[in-house]
Amino acid sequence: MPELRRDPVVGRWVIIATERSRRPSDFTAAPRPRKGGPCAFCGGQERQTPEEVWALRPGRGEPNGPGWQLRVVPNKFPALRIEGELEPTGEGLYDRMNGVGAHEVVIESPDHDAVIERLPVPHLAEVFRAYRDRIVDLAKDPRLEYVMVFKNHGDLAGASLEHTHSQLIATPVVPLMVEEELTGALQYLRIRKRCIWCDIIRQERQEGGRLIADEGGFVALAPFAPRFPFETWVLPAVHRSRYEETPLADFTALAAVVGRVLQRMTGFLEDPPYNFMLHSGPLRSPSLDHFHWHLEIIPKLTRVAGFEWGTGFFINPTPPEEAAKYLRDDGAESAVS
Amino acid sequence: MPELRRDPVVGRWVIIATERSRRPSDFTAAPRPRKGGPCAFCGGQERQTPEEVWALRPGRGEPNGPGWQLRVVPNKFPALRIEGELEPTGEGLYDRMNGVGAHEVVIESPDHDAVIERLPVPHLAEVFRAYRDRIVDLAKDPRLEYVMVFKNHGDLAGASLEHTHSQLIATPVVPLMVEEELTGALQYLRIRKRCIWCDIIRQERQEGGRLIADEGGFVALAPFAPRFPFETWVLPAVHRSRYEETPLADFTALAAVVGRVLQRMTGFLEDPPYNFMLHSGPLRSPSLDHFHWHLEIIPKLTRVAGFEWGTGFFINPTPPEEAAKYLRDDGAESAVS
């Protein structure tokens, strides 16, 4: 059973794998060469994964058989496990609990060589719908407090399998980073009576220099203080705190905006490693006036080094105003000037 | 002039390089091959660096000439610059100020192929004394609030030059991560009237399973909730909030402990990339009852991926109790069992 441990000073939680503990010789710094298919995520290999919990089969077909467009399966090597009780225990200064949670994989295509940004918009819209459906289902488990949806693309961004996929990890506590956003945003609401992200959208629309896209009810922008070069946030233009409350019809517009941002990013940065992370309100919160869900996309072009790990400061060699020029649809021309 | 920008939601500061902005084509994901010397940090190449601000020349010799054992020079490409005023300005929701600060490089040896953990203990003790001397000197500048000392070793840990060196960055604000430690530790002091790190040392000495070294007034331990496999903290056994108040005589014992931890780490992990970061009290604080300086050493064996960036949770595949077995001096035998 993995274990959740809490740092007693800053309150950060860490998942410690106690079962399959890795010894020094298990670590390798060498980059993984591209393997090619077929792999366990490919069409026709369905028996190699745990049984699916969600799937899209436009031509029907049996569960756990071929014919699917999208599949969600439990992670074969989960960071947290669905069985058991939390059993929080103290040990002097320290707190620990059982690593209870869920860890699922969204296989975004049966094709080993597919890349998410080249999927047709209706297909990508179904990926975003799958996230929603899984969050709604996982929320039924009262032990879970949060679901983080994320994608790792490329070896340096932490992807251990090359077949295109994203992941959901459901945790029994609200993560520290989400808590920090909630705290900062609540403070803002108390003083100004407004959602801080709604105000960010308003200001970015007025100034324009960091705006990347604004259409179909979604805004993409380069944030004012980005940690990473070409970091991009995508938000619904209207206030909405929980991703899972997105009307089904809106996922097409979301897919169109995210798909185009990723297309431009992978184009001019030549297939960079990247992560994206969905920040939504906690499962047990009602709709919140101060939280606004958003998708953060971070290409991994710079190394995170001692200064960043020690301070929480980030050094970003590309101003967001420059990044936005490249990321906008008309960016090819304006960026050269 | 670089610019400091503040994220309006979580209060994180980011340094934006506005002068030498990097375009997409400036980024490369390819690992850098080892170059070999001589480089600008080598003995005999002193004219290639900015003029030194501190040096150790056991055989005397002229400043900025050869014959040195240790040299501290301003960074030629500083993240923050010493000239100018902060001029904090608002822009609607956002805050920015000029990137005023200092950025120095501690060249730990004139030998291109030296590695810090193989330096003789008295030499390494001088490295730790140089950190102290530079902090004391930088503290005289009233614009500066904090000095972060850190080391990046290896390409994947963010080292852009292979010649052994560490760095100091002095910032005009106390970094968020140090603020978080200060806040957590103050809360602990208020309730329990004790320093949390003193209590950690006490508990680790009693339990023993995460203790790595305990001698000469310094303790090395694998923290209870480490972010990274083989993460190690080194602390003074007696309470001391500011690194620069360390008695000169103690640096030998510190060098002996840190040197041996790094020797074991680089040995069984086969020269892993790593960072270390010195967490000391803020420059403008008096001695604090709730803060205890410490050195954090983090080998970079795992990828930080979307889950970590989105949640602040870390997944660590090696329990600290296992890591400590390897890192202890008698570790070779016990780890195999």
Instruction: Specify the pLDDT at position B330.
Output: 67
> Do B183 and B325 lie in a common domain?
yes
CB A313 to CB B13 under 8 A?
A: yes
CB B177 to CB A310 under 8 A?
A: yes
Instruction: Specify the pLDDT at position B337.
Output: 39
| Phi-psi map region of A97: left, alpha, beta (phi>0 left; psi -120 to 50 alpha) | beta
Instruction: Name residue A14's amino acid.
Output: V
User: For B99-106, what is the mean pLDDT?
Assistant: 97
Place B332 in a pLDDT band, splitting at 50, 70 and 90: low
pLDDT tens digits, B312-325: 999 999 999 999 99
Instruction: Specify the pLDDT at position B184.
Output: 97
Instruction: Specify the pLDDT at position A33.
Output: 78
Query: How is residue B279 written in tokens?
Result: 């967490």
DSSP single-letter state for residue B81: B
Picking from A307, A318, A336 by the largest number of B CB atoms within 10 A of its own CB, the best residue to mutate is A307
Picking from A1, A6, A14 by the largest number of B CB atoms within 10 A of its own CB, the best residue to mutate is A14
Residues of A in contact with B268 (CB under 8 A): 24
My answer on whether omega of the bond before B88 falls inside 30° of 0, hence cis, is no
B25 within a domain of the structure (yes/no): no
Q: Does A9 touch chain B (CB under 8 A)?
A: yes
Query: How is residue B173 written in tokens?
Result: 């604000």
pLDDT tens digits, B125-151: 999 999 999 999 999 999 999 999 999
pLDDT above 90 for B220 = yes
Query: How is residue A111 written in tokens?
Result: 């094709």
Query: How is residue A285 written in tokens?
Result: 């919160």
pLDDT tens digits, A56-77: 999 888 999 999 999 999 999 8
pLDDT above 90 for A18 = no
pLDDT tens digits, A278-317: 999 999 998 899 999 999 999 999 889 999 999 999 999 9
Instruction: Specify the pLDDT at position A91.
Output: 93
Q: Which residues of B participate in catalysis according to the annotation? A: 165
pLDDT tens digits, B78-91: 999 999 999 999 99
For chain A, first and last CA: distance in Å?
56
Which of A175, A190, A212 is the last residue before a domain boundary? A175
B237 within a domain of the structure (yes/no): yes
Separation between Cα atoms, residue A205 and residue A273, nearest integer Å: 29
φ and ψ at residue B275, rounded to 5 degrees: -125, 150
Separation between Cα atoms, residue B327 and residue B291, nearest integer Å: 26
> Do B196 and B126 lie in a common domain?
no
> Do A187 and A319 lie in a common domain?
yes
Range 220-249 of A in CB contact (< 8 A) with B: 223-227, 229-230
* Residue A257 CB neighbour total at 10 angstroms: 23
Query: How is residue A303 written in tokens?
Result: 């190394």
B191 within a domain of the structure (yes/no): yes
The closest alpha carbon to B286, from B254, B244, B251, belongs to B244
pTM over 0.90: yes
Instruction: Specify the pLDDT at position A17.
Output: 84
pLDDT tens digits, A312-324: 999 999 999 999 9
User: For B170-177, what is the mean pLDDT?
Assistant: 94
- Spatial contact of B105 and B167, defined as CB atoms under 8 Å apart: yes
Using only C-alpha atoms, what is the Rg of chain B?
20
Residues of A in contact with B175 (CB under 8 A): 310-313
User: For B106-116, what is the mean pLDDT?
Assistant: 97
For chain A, give the secondary structure using H, E and C. Answer: CCEEEECCCCCCEEEECCCCCCCHHHCCCCCCCCCCCCCCCCCCCHHHCCCCCEEECCCCCCCCCCCCCEEEEECCCCCCECCCCCCCEEECCEEEEECECEEEEEECCCCCCCCHHHCCHHHHHHHHHHHHHHHHHHCCCCCCCEEEEEEEECHHHCCCCCCCEEEEEEECCCCHHHHHHHHHHHHHHHHHCCCHHHHHHHHHHHHCCCEEEEECCEEEECCCCCCCCCCEEEEECCCCCCHHHCCHHHHHHHHHHHHHHHHHHHHHCCCCCEEEEEECCCCCCCCCCCCCCEEEEEECCCCCCHHHHHHCCEEECCCHHHHHHHHCCCHHHHHHC
Query: How is residue A161 written in tokens?
Result: 């399998």
Place B331 in a pLDDT band, splitting at 50, 70 and 90: low
Instruction: Specify the pLDDT at position A142.
Output: 95
> Do A111 and A243 lie in a common domain?
no
Our CA dihedral for A305, A307, A308, A312, rounded to 10 degrees, sits at 160
A93 within a domain of the structure (yes/no): yes
> Do A170 and A182 lie in a common domain?
no
Specify the CATH number for the domain of residue B44: 3.30.428.10
**DSSP letter string, B88-120:** -EEETTEEEEE-B-EEEEEE--S-TT--GGGS-
Share of chain B above pLDDT 70, in %: 96
φ and ψ at residue B101, rounded to 5 degrees: 170, -160
Which of A175, A193, A213 is the last residue before a domain boundary? A175
Which of A151, A175, A199 is the last residue before a domain boundary? A175
A95 within a domain of the structure (yes/no): yes
- Spatial contact of A206 and A181, defined as CB atoms under 8 Å apart: no
**Which structural domain, as residue segments, surrounds residue A312?**
177-336
Instruction: Specify the pLDDT at position A337.
Output: 39
Instruction: Calculate the average pLDDT of chain B.
Output: 93
B26 within a domain of the structure (yes/no): no
Q: What angle do CA A195, A199, A204 make, to 5 degrees?
A: 150
For B311, the closest of A148, A155, A158 (CB atoms) is: A148
Q: Does B302 touch chain A (CB under 8 A)?
A: yes
Instruction: Calculate the average pLDDT of chain A.
Output: 93
pLDDT tens digits, B247-278: 999 999 999 999 999 999 999 999 999 999 99
Range in A7-11, A24-28, A191-195, B332-336 with the lowest mean pLDDT: B332-336
Separation between Cα atoms, residue B327 and residue B329, nearest integer Å: 6
Report the DSSP beta bridge partners of residue B149: B168, B278
Range 197-216 of A in CB contact (< 8 A) with B: 197, 199-200, 203, 207
Instruction: Name residue A283's amino acid.
Output: L
User: For A84-110, what is the mean pLDDT?
Assistant: 95
> Do B307 and B168 lie in a common domain?
no
Query: Which residue on chain B is closest to A312 by alpha carbon?
Result: B177
Separation between Cα atoms, residue A26 and residue A2, nearest integer Å: 18
Range 152-181 of B in CB contact (< 8 A) with A: 152, 154-159, 167, 169, 171, 175-178, 180-181
Instruction: Specify the pLDDT at position A335.
Output: 47
> Do B325 and B218 lie in a common domain?
yes
Residue A99 C-alpha, separation from nearest chain B C-alpha, in angstroms: 11
* Residue A329 CB neighbour total at 10 angstroms: 12
Report the DSSP beta bridge partners of residue B276: B151, B297
> Do A169 and A40 lie in a common domain?
yes
> Do B186 and B93 lie in a common domain?
no
A260 within a domain of the structure (yes/no): yes
Query: How is residue B67 written in tokens?
Result: 């014959």
Q: How many domains does chain B have?
A: 2
Instruction: Specify the pLDDT at position A333.
Output: 46
Report the DSSP beta bridge partners of residue A314: B14
Residue B122 C-alpha, separation from nearest chain A C-alpha, in angstroms: 25
Place A233 in a pLDDT band, splitting at 50, 70 and 90: very high
pLDDT above 50 for A132 = yes
Residue B75 C-alpha, separation from nearest chain A C-alpha, in angstroms: 14
pLDDT above 90 for B246 = yes
B284 within a domain of the structure (yes/no): yes
φ and ψ at residue A215, rounded to 5 degrees: -160, 150
- 3-class SS of residue B1: coil
> Do A134 and A192 lie in a common domain?
no
User: For A234-255, what is the mean pLDDT?
Assistant: 97
Residues in chain B: 337
- 3-class SS of residue B8: coil
Instruction: Specify the pLDDT at position A20.
Output: 66
Query: Which residue on chain A is closest to B7 by alpha carbon?
Result: A225
Share of chain A above pLDDT 90, in %: 85
| Interface predicted TM-score (ipTM) | 0.93
Residues of A in contact with B1 (CB under 8 A): none
Instruction: Specify the pLDDT at position A271.
Output: 92
- Spatial contact of B113 and B41, defined as CB atoms under 8 Å apart: no
> Do B194 and B151 lie in a common domain?
no
pLDDT above 70 for B29 = no
- Spatial contact of A276 and A168, defined as CB atoms under 8 Å apart: no
> Do B146 and B121 lie in a common domain?
yes
